[in-house]
């Protein structure tokens, strides 16, 4: 359990769900970890769970200026950074006619603009070699109704993994995407849907999953460990889709 021994890792959106599971797994594998979040309640719970040696930083993942502040915190804490898991994101699902400019901009800011400018901000502190892992989504590959903006932002992240790998590989930085299917995380509770609608949504998704269940966040975290570790040194601009067979139907 030392595949990340000595590595310095940043995990955005690391206070709940996949991000928190990834932080736990990175610690088990010997990494030094910093996580970010926004909600004060989940920030406090993450501090208690991960321990006082793990910095838990409050930033707005959608503001370009906050990414520069985060880089300064990383530099002060670690000096250099070996791994960045850009996991912070929001999921808003509604039909085309219900979107307005404000909600569109917020989704794009958090899911795409923030990660882009965080990668830019981190360039001076990235080690050689370094691994960047972008949390994508199976939604980038399918035509799920009401997921237009969310899916577009995740498809854009997938594209960035390719283009920035070509741009940064000479600096020893590789960028890969980890794209989960349905995962048992709090993101569904954040959709603002009533309980009966959430139950209907879950049942509909389950019918489309050959695996017959949602993923456990730790299963996605195991893949993140692989992409962060030297075991995946030949993975450059690639994507791991973990969807329980969702896209095989």
Whether 84 contacts 119, CB under 8 Å: yes
Active site residue 188: no
Query: How would you class 135 by CB atoms within 10 Å of its CB: exposed for 0-12, middle for 13-18, buried for 19 or more?
Result: buried
Q: Which of 93, 150, 214, 246 is catalytic?
A: 150
CB 32 within 8 A of CB 9: yes
Q: 3-class SS at 249?
A: coil
Separation of alpha carbons 157 and 144, rounded Å: 18
Per DSSP, the three-state class of 174 is strand
Q: Which long-range contacts (CB under 8 A, 24 or more apart) does 98-102 make?
A: 99/148, 99/149
Angle, alpha carbons 95-101-106 (nearest 5°) = 90
Alpha helix positions (H), the chain: 17-28, 40-50, 64-78, 101-108, 114-122, 148-168, 195-207, 217-228
Q: Coil, strand or helix: which one is 236?
A: coil
What 3-state DSSP class applies to 52? Answer: coil
The set of catalytic residues is 150
């Amino acid at each position: 359990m030392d595949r990340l021994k000595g590595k310095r890792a940043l995990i955005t959106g690391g206070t709940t769900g996949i991000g928190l599971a990834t932080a736990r797994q990175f610690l088990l594998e010997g990494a030094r970890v910093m996580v970010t979040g926004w909600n004060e309640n989940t920030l406090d719970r993450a501090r208690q769970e991960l321990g006082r040696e793990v910095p838990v930083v409050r930033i707005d993942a959608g503001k370009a200026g906050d990414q520069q502040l985060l880089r300064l915190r990383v530099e002060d804490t670690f000096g250099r950074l070996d791994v960045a898991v850009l996991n912070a994101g929001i999921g808003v699902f509604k039909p085309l006619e219900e979107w307005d400019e404000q909600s569109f901009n917020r989704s794009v800011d958090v899911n795409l603009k923030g990660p882009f400018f965080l990668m830019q901000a981190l360039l001076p502190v990235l080690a050689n070699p370094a691994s960047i892992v972008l949390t994508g989504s199976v939604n980038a590959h399918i035509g799920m109704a009401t997921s237009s903006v969310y899916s577009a932002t995740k498809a854009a992240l997938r594209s960035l993994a390719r283009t920035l790998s070509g741009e940064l590989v000479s600096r020893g930085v590789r960028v890969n995407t980890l794209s989960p299917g349905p995962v048992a995380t709090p993101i569904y509770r954040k959709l603002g849907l009533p309980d009966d609608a959430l139950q209907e949504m879950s049942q509909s998704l389950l019918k489309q999953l050959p695996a017959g269940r949602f993923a456990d966040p730790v299963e996605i975290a195991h893949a993140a460990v692989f992409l962060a570790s030297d075991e995946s040194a030949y993975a450059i601009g690639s994507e791991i889709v973990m969807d329980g067979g969702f896209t095989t139907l």
